[in-house]
Structure 1
Amino acid sequence: MTKIKICGLMDKHTVDEVCRLGADYLGFVFAKSKREVTSDQVRLMTTDVPVTIQKVGVFVSPTIEQLQRTVQEAGLDLVQIHGDFPNGSCGVPTIQAKSVNGNEKEFKTTADFLLLDAPPKEFYGGNGETFSWKAVQLNLLPQEKLFIAGGLTAENVQQAITYFQPFGVDVSSGIETNGVKDLAKIQAFINQVKEYDHVSTTR
């Protein structure tokens, strides 16, 4: 089953609804962004999150000390790192995010998971743009630990899963209306992923 990560969450009502709708991972941004949150906010937002749903902190070029502190303060289950990847352990599994610019041949990582995203603009991630899928050599990707991000929506997520066969998909701006998370779009996105998985397992 394809895992679903809903990123850029900023309020408890949306967090609770995303859990109810069937997400597997919740993403909270701890880097400069219009979706930036604090450890205290995440603690309050996630008081009712089931233990089966993983809380992911998103960082840009953090220090290992910053990761360790925020993991403890916010109660994170994983960290997702854009930019420079620090040495050392932060105590939880890691997702290394890499931008696809179109000239890469392969993507290697020492992290537990690899996330492919579109190149950054003002901020890393959440820009609503896809990258060139054909620029990536599929046979060199670690599909069993691969997340795909970058401009995903309910309209194209099945195509992305068909093309990459990833472990999971990651969405933020593609489920927003006027910069705010839209529960109808979230439901449509999750439904498309689950429909794909259901059809593929019944063939």
Structure 2
Amino acid sequence: MTSVKICGLVSEEQVLAVASLPVDHIGFVFARSKRQVTPVQAGAWIRRMKEARGDDRPLAAGVFVNFSREELAAVLEEAPLDVVQLHGQEDAAYCRWLKEAYPGLQIFKVITLTGGAGSRETSPELVIQERLQSYQPYVDGILLDTFDPVYGGGSGKTFAWEAIPPYQAWCREAGVRLIVAGGLNPDNVNELLESYRPDGVDVSSGVETEGMKDMDKITSFVGRVKRFV
């Protein structure tokens, strides 16, 4: 079944409400963003979720953009994350360090695409050849998202989904999950699933109303994904 990540949570109330749904990951943004939270806040909310849900809980993911090793380690001291999602220029050596320093921690490496066709850097085939091969031993997921020139993370806009197949083929061969983000919402997620069948989807602004998480939209999004076969 396709995994669901609801990202950009900013309060304990949101965390507990989302954790009551059949979601697989909840996300906290530590990079510069209007949804940025502190490690102390996220740590408290994660521990509260664990108290409330026990083992029946989503995994906690943290979003980072070009944090130094020391900066990321400081976050992990405060916030017991299950997943680190890397949106910057973190290389394979950085991912290897994370895997060795934090056994059991999952790593999602983000590949940023433009709102149009293809990667903002080069063709998918060259990205795979030049970058993904080196990441293979150290990542658990590749996440495709659109590039935000202001914050460096996701922009909340869709990219040309026709770019997905080369990444999907590589991920299947490598035994790595393919997750798609960027402009998803309850109205378009089934089109993505029907056409490309990614292993997971990641949403933030697409389940918001006037910049705030909307539980009706979140519930609708999760329901549509989990009903898809």
SS of corresponding position for 1:21: coil
Q: CA deviation at 1:120?
A: 1.6
What TM-score, normalized to structure 1? Answer: 0.90
Q: Distance in 1 between matches of 2:164 and 2:219?
A: 29
Aligned match of 1:38:
38
Count of paired positions: 197
Aligned match of 2:106:
93
Matched, 1:177 2:209: yes
Give percent identity, aligned residues only: 38
**Contact (CA 8 Å) 2:165, 2:196: kept in 1 or not?**
no
Q: CA deviation at 1:195?
A: 1.4
Q: What per-residue deviation string (whole Å, max 9, x for no partner) do you get for residues 17-42 of structure 1?
A: 10112211010000100000011111
Could you list the structure 1 runs, at least 4 aligned residues long, displaced by more than 4 angstroms after superposition: none
Q: CA deviation at 1:126?
A: 4.5
Aligned match of 1:157:
189
Q: Which runs of 5+ in 1 are unaligned?
A: none
**Contact (CA 8 Å) 2:44, 2:79: kept in 1 or not?**
no
Aligned match of 1:187:
219
Q: Distance in 2 between matches of 1:126 and 1:175?
A: 15
Q: Distance in 2 between matches of 1:83 and 1:125?
A: 8
Aligned match of 1:69:
74
Picking from 85, 102, 121, the partner of 2:149 is: 121
Aligned match of 2:163:
135
What one-letter code is carried by the residue in structure 2 that aligns with 1:75?
Answer: P
Q: What per-residue deviation string (whole Å, max 9, x for no partner) do you get for residues 106-161 of structure 1?
A: 34233221000012232234532100111333453415511100000011111112
Q: Distance in 1 between matches of 2:15 and 2:142?
A: 24
Greater percentage in helix: 2
What one-letter code is carried by the residue in structure 1 that aligns with 2:58?
Answer: I
**Contact (CA 8 Å) 1:115, 1:147: kept in 2 or not?**
yes
Q: CA deviation at 1:67?
A: 2.0
Tell me which moved more, 139-148 or 170-179: 139-148
Q: Distance in 1 between matches of 2:158 and 2:152?
A: 13
Q: Distance in 1 between matches of 2:143 and 2:161?
A: 13
Q: CA deviation at 1:164?
A: 2.5
Q: Distance in 2 between matches of 1:163 and 1:100?
A: 18
Q: Distance in 1 between matches of 2:197 and 2:226?
A: 14
Q: Distance in 1 between matches of 2:140 and 2:67?
A: 17
Tell me which moved more, 139-148 or 33-42: 139-148
Matched, 1:21 2:21: yes
How much is the aligned-residue C-alpha RMSD, in angstroms?
Answer: 1.7
Q: Distance in 1 between matches of 2:141 and 2:196?
A: 15
SS of corresponding position for 1:187: helix
What one-letter code is carried by the residue in structure 1 that aligns with 2:49?
Answer: D
What one-letter code is carried by the residue in structure 2 that aligns with 1:32?
Answer: R
